[in-house]
Amino acid sequence: MFTLRGGVAGDRPRLYHEADHQTCHHCAAYAAPSGNHQHGFPLVSVVGNNAGWNQIRFGQLSKYGQKRGDVANKLSPTRYDVIVEAMGGYGELVTQPQDIRPAMERARASVKPSCVNVILDPDIYSSGTMNQTMYK
Ligand SMILES: Cc1ncc(C[n+]2csc(CCOP(=O)(O)OP(=O)(O)O)c2C)c(N)n1
């Protein structure tokens, strides 16, 4: 989020990665770079979109089971790329790994604040998520 806002102050290209939980909470922050730099601000944002709060979900599934563990931890597979486009930026939806780089190159070439929305498998968990101790 601070990259998005801080980027407004400069004109160097920015690469930004976030998980969809963050995007869900603050996607309106894209309005600041969009509003200030509609024609010339190469912000490339890549969202890892697993449509969930998996750090929380993983522990709750193991503790409470499938039915209760998914409650409030699954998000809709939101089109953050479309939201950013609606604010004057550039957006792309990516569903295949080999399409990530070309999408990022097109986002950079657009010279607009951008969102490359990469759909991830919601049932693959990071090692950090699987090794967290809070539910053990
Ligand atoms: C503002 C805020 N709300 C709630 C939390 C609690 N929280 C910790 S991890 C997490 C889910 C993170 O989801 P995401 O960043 O999309 O990554 P994932 O766990 O799916 O890999 C949440 C909700 C938090 N850290 N900050």
pLDDT tens per residue across span 60-74: 999 899 889 999 999
The CATH classification number of 2-123 equals: 3.40.50.970
**CA 40 to ligand 1 centroid distance, Å:** 32
Cα dist from 10 to 5, 6, 41, 134, whole Å: 10, 8, 9, 40
Containing 116, the helix (H) or strand (E) segment is strand 114-119
**CA 42 to ligand 1 centroid distance, Å:** 27
Chain-centre distance for alpha carbon 123 = 17
Return the ∠ at Cα 99 (arms to 96 and 103), rounded to 5°. Answer: 135
Cα 85 from Cα 88, distance rounded (Å): 5
- Say if ligand 1 is within 6 A of residue 19 CB: yes
For residue 12, give the nearest of 40, 45, 38, 46 by alpha carbon: 40
Residue with CA at minimum distance from ligand 1 atom 23? 53
48 CA: nearest ligand 1 atom: 16
Span 24-58, pLDDT tens digits: 777 777 776 666 655 567 789 999 999 999 999 99
Span 96-135, pLDDT tens digits: 999 999 999 999 999 888 999 999 999 999 999 999 887 6
125 CA: nearest ligand 1 atom: 21
**Average model confidence (pLDDT) across the chain:** 85
Residue with CA at minimum distance from ligand 1 atom 10? 53
- Say if ligand 1 is within 6 A of residue 49 CB: no
- 89: tokens are 């930026």
**CA 57 to ligand 1 centroid distance, Å:** 10
